[in-house]
Chains A and B, each alone.
Chain A
Amino acid sequence: MNIFCVGISHHTATVETRERYAGACPEQEWRSVLGCAEVLVLTTCNRVEVYGSAERSIATEEIVRFLQKCDPAEVGSDDPFYRYDGEACARHLFRVVAGLDSMVIGETEILGQVKKAYAAARESGNAGWLLHRLFQRAFRVAKQVRSSTDITRGAVSVGSVAVDLAVKIFGDLRERRVLVLGAGETSERTARSLCSRGVSDIRVSNRSHDRAQTLAEAVGGRAVPFENWTTQCREVDILISSTAAEEPLLTRSLLAPMMRDRADRPLFIIDIAVPRDVAPEVNELEGVYLYDIDSLQSIAEQSRAMRRQQVTAAETIIDEHVSELGARLGRGSDALPITPLDERAIRASQS
Chain B
Amino acid sequence: MDRQLILASTLCFLVAVAHTLATLRDGVFRPRRFNFVAIALGFLLQCAFLSVRGHALGRCPITNLFEVFVFLAWSLGLIYLLVGPAYRLSLMGAFTAPLVLLIQGFALLAPIDIPHAASVRPNPWLEFHASMSMIAYGAFALACVAGVMYLVQERQLKSHQLHSIFYHLPPLTNLFAAITRLLWLGFALYTAGLVSGFFTGGPLPRVKMICAFGVWVFYGAILQGRYFHRVAPRRIATLCILAFSAAVSVLWAINFVAQTRPT
Contact = CB atoms under 8 A, between A and B. Distances in A.
Question: A and B from one assembly?
Answer: yes
Contacts of B157: 165, 168-169, 289
B176 interface: yes
Given A169-B157, A170-B173, A171-B171, A302 B230 contact: no
A283 B164 CA distance: 23
A152 B170 CA distance: 18
Given A263-B229, A286-B234, A291 B166 contact: no
A309 B174 CA distance: 30
A189 interface: no
Given A263-B230, A286-B232, A170 B171 contact: yes
A184 to B, nearest CB: 22
Nearest to B225: A263
A150 B167 CA distance: 10
A1 to B, nearest CB: 39
Interface in B223-251: 226, 229-235
Contact of A264 (B30, B167, B233): B233
A148 B31 CA distance: 10
Contacts of A299: 160, 162
Interface in B131-172: 153, 157-158, 160, 162, 164, 166-167, 169-172
B28 interface: yes
B232 A264 contact: yes
A149 B171 contact: no
B253 to A, nearest CB: 33
A165 B156 CA distance: 11
Nearest to B174: A171
A266 B173 CA distance: 9
Nearest to A291: B160
Interface in A114-168: 148-150, 153-154, 165, 167-168
B212 to A, nearest CB: 29
B172 A266 contact: yes
Contacts of A148: 30
Contacts of B162: 154, 299, 302
A298 interface: yes
A86 interface: no
A149 to B, nearest CB: 7
Contacts of B30: 148, 150
Most buried by A among B30, B166, B173, B174: B173
Contact of A167 (B171, B234, B235): B171
Given A149-B28, A170-B171, A170-B173, A298 B160 contact: yes
Given A263-B232, A266-B172, 19 more contacts: A150-B30, A150-B164, A154-B162, A168-B153, A168-B166, A169-B172, A170-B173, A171-B173, A264-B226, A264-B229, A264-B232, A266-B173, A283-B158, A286-B232, A298-B160, A299-B160, A299-B162, A306-B164, A310-B28
Interface of B: 27-28, 30, 153, 157-158, 160, 162, 164, 166-167, 169-174, 176, 226, 229-235
5 cross-chain pairs, A with B, having the tightest CB-CB distances, nearest first: A171-B171, A286-B232, A295-B160, A171-B173, A171-B174
